[in-house]
Every structure is written in C-alpha cells, then in structure tokens.
A and B are shown apart, each in its own frame.
Chain A
C-alpha cells in the first residue's frame, strides 16, 4: 500500500509538472475559471427568463456543480496521452502496477474542477439571489468533492475503453460530460425523463450527489442527504472497479497479442 502511495505521489508530481507547464494561475483564472463561471451564468439566466426564482435556484446550483464534470473527465484525454507516450510497456515491466498511474493520472484536473466549482458556488449565488443556508453551506464544497471523485471514476472507466481508439478521445470526453450535464438532474429533475432513462441516470455519477446537495441546501433531513451521498460513493466505486478491470484486461490482452506498444 505504501509503495502504491509512493507511485501515486510521483504520478501526481509528474501530472502537476505537465499541467503547470501550460497553465499558469492567471491563465487558469481568466480563461478556464471565468469560462466555467459564465457557463453557469448562462443557464442561470435561462431561469431568470423563465420568470421564476425557483428555476434560477435549480439551474444555478445544478450548473455550478456540473461544470466540475468537464475537468473530472479530462482524465480521458490524459490517459490516452499517457498510452501514446509509450510508457505502458515500462509500467507493465515494473514491479508496481500500472493501475495506480492510470487511475491517478487526472487528479490534478479533478482538483481544478473542484476548485472551479467551489468558487462558482461561493461567487454566483449572491449575484442571482440564490439563498444558501450559511454557515452550514460551507459543507457543500465537500459534497462537490464527493461528486467530483465519482465523476472522475466514471471518466477513468471511459478512458479505459477509449485507449484502444485514441482518435475518439475528444468525442469520448465531450459525450461523457455532456451526458452527465444533460440527464443527471442538472437542468431538469431526473423525473422529467422516461423510466428507462431515469434508470440509467441512477447509475451515473452526479445524479445522487447533486440530489444530496440540493437536499442539503433545502435543509432536508440529514438521512436524505447522507443516503444520496452514499449512493453517489457507491456509483463512483462501481465505475472505478469497472475501470480497474478494463485497464487490467487491456494489459493482459496486450501481453497476449504483443500490442503493448513501446513507440511514442
């Protein structure tokens, strides 16, 4: 376990070095963060056009949390990049498992997403007249983190399947987070969708976590909030387990047919 944590630490350092090579805090703030804030405002303004503060509340909170999913699923691009850089063969030959590196590859981006979402949660509600139950609302960023981790697990799972089709990585990234933003209760309640689609959303990340955040803000009983959060954790764990199996299967198949390429 300690060895795996050491591998994860070095993986994180490498990821941070790569991330900070093209992203300064100024660039992040003025291009990425502000883009996400404006995206959330775009949807909140629709609520204003609908003429209902309830709609503004719903759309703003949903989108404040949902913008984090973009960063959380960037792991799809990063994993494909890692595979293309030709390091998989070295990792397979090393005594440690490749899983730690692949599953931890996008944690820096997840941090970026959670930071952006938290900033949006702190900055935007007062601008749109959304009332929050302070000081209890200070716990919401922790819930955003839970949703973020769950979305990240889902992203790693998609990444494990996309590794075989690197040219589809951008499509996979966009479709992955858009599915969450469209169907998981961000803009309309999941009850709006047909039963079969609602059943699918119940095993997607964001659905339960966002429901927990909404329930918490509405000062629902703690059991409701914790129950939804627990479901979100279970969904995330499920996606992570599938991702781990898929990555292991990929290496096994690569060993068998010699397709673990070395070239970059």
Chain B
C-alpha cells in the first residue's frame, strides 16, 4: 500500500509540474460543444443524456491513453525504468498507484461536461438514479485503471506505441456506444462491445439518467468491475513477464 500511495503521490507531483499533460481537460469542452450542438440542432432533447455521457467517458478514456498508458513508456524514455527495476521494492504497486492517480483525475471531465452544458446550452440531464450513476462511475474509474495498466504494458512492448494509442480511441468510442448505443452498429460488430467495459458503463449510466427503473444494475456493475479485474490481472501478469524477459535478455531500455 505504501508503494501504491507513493506512486500516486509521485503522479500528482508530476502533473503539478507539467500541467500541459492535462491536455484532455482542454479538448473535452470542444467534444461537449460538438455533441450537444448536434442534438440541440436536431431538436432531440431525449438524446441530451447521450451527449453528456459521451464527453465524460471520452474524457476518462482520454486520461487513460493520454497519460496513464504512457507511464511506463515515459519511464523508459527518462531511463528510470531500469533504476526502478533495480530497486528492492516491487514496481507494480508504484505504477498502479501512478495510473490510479491519473484515473482519479479522469473524473474531472464529468464536472466539466455538466458545467459547460449548463453554461453554454442551459441544459443538464436529471440523474434519476444517483446511486446507480455514481456506482457506475466508480466502477468505470476502477476498470479504467485496470485497462490502463494493460495498455501501459502493451505500449511498452511496441516501438510504435504512440501510433497505436492514437488509433485506439475512436474504435473504442464506437464499439462501446458512448454516444450512439451499440444497437446502431452493424450486427457483426455488436458482440465485440460486450468485452469492452465502457459499453456496460455507457449503458448503465444512460439508464441511470432515465426515469424508468434500472434493470439488473447489480449484474451490470459486476460486469464493469469484472472486466476491470480481468484487465488488471492481465496487465499485472504481462508487466511481470515483460520485465522478467527484459531482465533475461538485457533489453530493459528496449523492453
């Protein structure tokens, strides 16, 4: 736990020193305006909830790929990965602490979206089931931390990591239905969305904003947490394997 907190502290310190890393917070307002303007112009107030949730979840994902997933690659660039590996403490909790700190910041786009919607368009959706909404948000932040660890390790394995990170965003937004529910996708793509935790998050959060009772909230929350745990375990195992392989081959710098 000490190492985890130490990692989180380090990350907060780094973000304070490099505020330009909070780029996502500057791009989210544009996404909010784009999506809200589309539904307002089309006179579809029933879709305002979608236009609010999409920037929130896109912001969460943006923090993951823009900052959290680059934690390990950043360590390699600054040549501190090998120093960390040589240290007596375990590295995993430190990196997980750093990633979790980033994911906590990933909640900020939620407030940003609500504020901008109210200020610029004078609209804000009513949260009819606040407990479900906040539970889904918390589960999503947890799952995003796990997914970020998996992404971070994957990025460490490729020399074209930035290209892949850049690529992955929109396919995920599309497949997870953050704005447009999955049923609008071609049928052959729909099963893919079940393995993306964001699709469960988007559906559950949308339902929590609606007046109708939320069906199967517990199971759906469990699905988000379960996918998060799977990513976390996968990331943990892959990180251990990658670092061991790098040690054995003497390629830590190019791990």
Choose, from B100-108, B146-154, B162-170, B203-211, the stretch at the interface: B162-170
A35 touches B174 (CB 8 A): no
B38 touches A178 (CB 8 A): no
User: B222 within 8 Å of A by Cβ?
Assistant: no
B23 touches A48 (CB 8 A): no
Distance of A32 Cα from B160 Cα, bound (Å): 12
Assuming the A-B contacts A38-B171, A45-B184, are A59 and B163 also in contact, with contact meaning beta carbons closer than 8 angstroms in the complex? no
Contact with A along B10-40 (1 / 0, CB 8 A): 0000000000100100110010011101111
B185 touches A45 (CB 8 A): yes
B160 touches A174 (CB 8 A): no
Contact with B along A155-175 (1 / 0, CB 8 A): 000000000000110110011
User: B2 within 8 Å of A by Cβ?
Assistant: no
Contact of A59 among B26, B38, B47, B167 (CB under 8 A): B38
Distance of A41 Cα from B20 Cα, bound (Å): 30
Question: A126 → chain B, closest Cβ, in Å?
Answer: 14
User: A150 within 8 Å of B by Cβ?
Assistant: no
Contact residue range for chain B? 20 to 34
Q: A16-54: which residues lie under 8 A (CB-CB) from chain B?
A: 22, 27, 30-32, 34-35, 38-39, 41-43, 45-46, 48-50, 52
Contact residue range for chain A? 20 to 34
Question: B120 → chain A, closest Cβ, in Å?
Answer: 11
Distance of A41 Cα from B171 Cα, bound (Å): 10
Chain A: CB-nearest residue to B22:
A171
Distance of A45 Cα from B193 Cα, bound (Å): 16
Chain A: CB-nearest residue to B171:
A38
B42 touches A52 (CB 8 A): yes
Contact of A171 among B23, B173, B184 (CB under 8 A): B23
User: A137 within 8 Å of B by Cβ?
Assistant: no
B170 touches A31 (CB 8 A): no
B20 touches A35 (CB 8 A): no
Contact with A along B173-198 (1 / 0, CB 8 A): 11000011100110000000000000
Question: B163 → chain A, closest Cβ, in Å?
Answer: 4
Interface-centre pick from B20, B30, B39 (highest chain A CB count, 10 A): B30
* Across-interface contacts of A34 in B (CB, < 8 A): 167
Assuming the A-B contacts A31-B160, A170-B20, are A49 and B180 also in contact, with contact meaning beta carbons closer than 8 angstroms in the complex? yes
A-B contact sample (15 more), CB < 8 A, given A31-B164, A42-B180, A178-B30? A31-B160, A32-B166, A35-B171, A46-B38, A49-B181, A49-B184, A50-B42, A52-B42, A55-B42, A170-B20, A174-B26, A174-B27, A181-B30, A187-B38, A188-B37
